[in-house]
């Protein structure tokens, strides 16, 4: 065995480091983490492969997010909610029901309302364009360095830092590299963090509709045999639609004209919103689950889809990513305040412990939930009708269900409770 000193002395001296943290990926999670770290005085550079104008369009493109109360707390703690609130629609109630197209819904309808959750609305619907624009604005006003249109070509971990090479630019050093680069994360690959996952043979059709009657802040989730249909309240008389079908059926529907598309959508949720029309574009996303076995490697941590891309059944993808952001920001902030090396293994291990189990659970839960509901087997249907009836009958169970859906379960990081770092 070689003496540990031999290895240490052979390393080049490249200090002081350029930044405390390098974030690969300037999506919603990457930028939010950068802002959180900046609020704790941790220097951060975000490197994103896309040119800045690619993701920023002022026109509504039909994409929106169901932000949990916990996610909203974090945006508030980071000083972004005040401006964003004008563009957010509170979700006051979520109605969940088991309905098959062309049939009346089953007698058990699960309802979650404000009274089930003591901390205000269950969440907020926010359009993608608004969230992105506000994040970009906040980053611009912060100390975060955002380098758009640049490609990371390599990463090397040393005993005291990590070096990242960027195409056409000098290499960068930092204490920690964060992979916020999505489900095909190159950061994860280069760190040797292996993935697992499966394909559902389903696709989600996503669009926004304008409707005649008000939605009263109520979100609906119908569990159909082919997959769930969610109707989520947007500002004014508009709603976001997430509609899941067998892959080929979804593709066929997606290929239809707007008019034919609407004629298929209409009977699926009845006429309670009156006449409907498309607002923005239509999207189709193949559903698959992709998760890494671990969220950390030496001086590397993964957040969001890079660690766990889940089936978007309950709108938990971004919320789950925001939980990663809040947890990682907190352990790094605490490490800085106790004077330790930000990339020390004990710190990243704390993050893994905090988020690893939750993520594994979410992947499993989301998956079984979908398998249970996306099925026309009469026995399974009986079980889920009974299950939803029981949830309605047991207020405690239901409150737990809502709290989990709102991201407030477990031991939440400070930011998710709306407190600063």
Partner 1 sequence: MQGNQSTVDPAEVAKFETMAAEWWDLEGKFKPLHMLNPCRLDYITQQISMEFDRDLSADLPFKGLRILDIGCGGGLLCEPMARLGATVVGADAAAGNIPVAKLHAEQSGLEIDYRHITAEALAEANEQFDVVLNMEVVEHVASPPAYLFACQQLLRPGGLHICSTLNRNPKSFLFAIIGAEWVMRWLPKGTHDWNKFITPDELFGLLEEAGLKPEDRKGFVFNKVAWSWSISAQDLSVNYVTASTKPT
Applying CB under 8 A, which residues contact partner 1?
Answer: 3-5, 8-9, 11, 13, 15-17, 40-41, 159-160, 334-335, 337-341, 344-347, 350, 353, 421
Nearer to partner 1 by C-beta: 143 or 288? Answer: 143
Instruction: Compute the least distance from the CB of residue 33 to partner 1, in Å.
Output: 18
Nearer to partner 1 by C-beta: 173 or 187? Answer: 173
- Give exposure, 311-343, as e/b (b: 16+ Cβ within 10 Å): bbbbbbbbbbbbbbbbbbbbbbbebbeeeebbb
Nearer to partner 1 by C-beta: 20 or 93? Answer: 20
Instruction: Compute the least distance from the CB of residue 168 to partner 1, in Å.
Output: 27
Nearer to partner 1 by C-beta: 145 or 344? Answer: 344
Nearer to partner 1 by C-beta: 17 or 67? Answer: 17
Nearer to partner 1 by C-beta: 159 or 201? Answer: 159
Residue 137 contacts residue 129 (beta carbons within 8 Å): no
Q: What is the CA radius of gyration of the chain?
A: 22
Instruction: Compute the least distance from the CB of residue 347 to partner 1, in Å.
Output: 8
CB atoms < 10 A from the CB of 185, how many? 25
Nearer to partner 1 by C-beta: 5 or 379? Answer: 5
Instruction: Compute the least distance from the CB of residue 237 to partner 1, in Å.
Output: 45
Instruction: Compute the least distance from the CB of residue 373 to partner 1, in Å.
Output: 34
Nearer to partner 1 by C-beta: 160 or 235? Answer: 160
Instruction: Compute the least distance from the CB of residue 333 to partner 1, in Å.
Output: 8
Instruction: Compute the least distance from the CB of residue 145 to partner 1, in Å.
Output: 18
Instruction: Compute the least distance from the CB of residue 78 to partner 1, in Å.
Output: 15
Instruction: Compute the least distance from the CB of residue 248 to partner 1, in Å.
Output: 47
Nearer to partner 1 by C-beta: 255 or 346? Answer: 346
Nearer to partner 1 by C-beta: 41 or 382? Answer: 41
Burial of 285 (0-12, 13-18, 19+ CB in 10 A): middle
Instruction: Compute the least distance from the CB of residue 345 to partner 1, in Å.
Output: 5
* Cα angle for residues 338, 347, 26 (degrees, 5° grid): 105
SS (H, E, C) the chain: CCCHHHHHHCCCCCCCCCCCEEEECCCHHHHHHHHHHHHCCCCEEEEECCCHHHHCCCCCCCCEEEEEHHHHHHHHHCCCHHHHHHHEEEECEEEEEECCCCCCCCCCEEEEEHHHCCCCCCEEEEEHHHHHHHHHHHHHHCCCEEEECCCEEEEEECCCCEEEEECCEEEEEECEEEECCCCCCHHHHHCCCCEEEEEEEEEEEEEEEEECCCCCCEEEEEEECCEEEEEEEECCCEEEEEEEEEHHHHHHHHHCCHHHHHHHHHHHHCCCCCCEEECCCCEEEEEEEEEECCCEECCEEECHHHCEECCHHHCHHHHHHHHHHHHHHHHHHHHHHCCCCCCCHHHHHHHHHHHHHHHHHHHHHHHHHHHHHCCCCHHHHHHHHHHHHHHHHCHHHHHHHHHHHCCCCCCCCHHHHCCCC
């Amino acid at each position: 065995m070689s003496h540990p000193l031999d290895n240490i002395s052979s390393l080049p001296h490249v200090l002081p480091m350029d930044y405390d943290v390098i974030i690969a990926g300037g999506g919603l999670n990457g930028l939010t983490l950068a802002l959180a770290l900046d609020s704790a005085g941790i220097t951060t550079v975000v490197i994103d492969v896309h040119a800045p104008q690619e993701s920023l369009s002022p026109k509504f493109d039909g994409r929106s997010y169901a932000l949990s109360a916990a996610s909203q707390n974090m945006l508030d703690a980071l000083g972004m909610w005040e401006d964003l609130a004008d563009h957010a629609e509170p979700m006051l109630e979520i109605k969940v029901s088991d309905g098959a197209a062309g049939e009346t819904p089953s007698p058990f309808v699960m309802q979650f309302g404000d009274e089930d959750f003591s901390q205000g609305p269950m969440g907020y619907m926010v359009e993608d364009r608004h969230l992105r624009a506000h994040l970009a604005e906040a980053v611009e006003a912060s100390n975060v360095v955002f380098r758009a249109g640049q490609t990371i070509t390599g990463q090397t971990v040393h005993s005291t830092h990590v070096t990242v090479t960027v195409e056409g630019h000098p290499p960068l050093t930092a204490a920690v590299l964060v992979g916020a680069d999505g489900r095909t994360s190159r950061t994860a690959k280069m760190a040797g963090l292996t993935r697992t996952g499966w394909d559902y043979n389903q696709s989600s059709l996503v669009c926004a509709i304008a409707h005649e009657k008000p939605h009263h802040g109520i979100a609906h989730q119908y569990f159909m045999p082919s997959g769930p249909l969610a109707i989520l309240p947007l500002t004014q008389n508009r709603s976001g639609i997430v509609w899941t079908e067998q892959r080929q059926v979804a593709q066929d529907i997606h290929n239809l004209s707007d008019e034919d598309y609407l004629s298929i959508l209409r009977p699926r949720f009845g006429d309670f919103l009156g006449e409907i029309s498309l607002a923005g574009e239509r999207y189709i996303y193949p559903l698959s689950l992709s998760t890494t076995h671990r969220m950390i490697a030496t001086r590397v941590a993964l957040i969001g889809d890079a660690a766990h891309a889940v089936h978007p059944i309950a709108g938990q993808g971004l919320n789950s990513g925001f939980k990663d952001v809040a947890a990682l920001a907190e352990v790094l902030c605490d490490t800085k305040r106790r004077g330790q090396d930000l990339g020390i293994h004990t710190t990243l291990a704390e993050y893994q412990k905090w988020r690893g189990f939750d993520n594994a659970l979410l992947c499993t839960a989301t998956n079984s939930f979908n398998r249970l509901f996306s099925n026309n087997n009469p026995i399974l249907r009986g079980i889920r009708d009974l299950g939803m009836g029981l949830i309605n009958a047991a207020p405690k169970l239901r409150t737990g269900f809502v709290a989990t859906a709102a991201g407030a379960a477990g031991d939440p990081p400070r930011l998710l409770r709306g407190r600063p770092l």
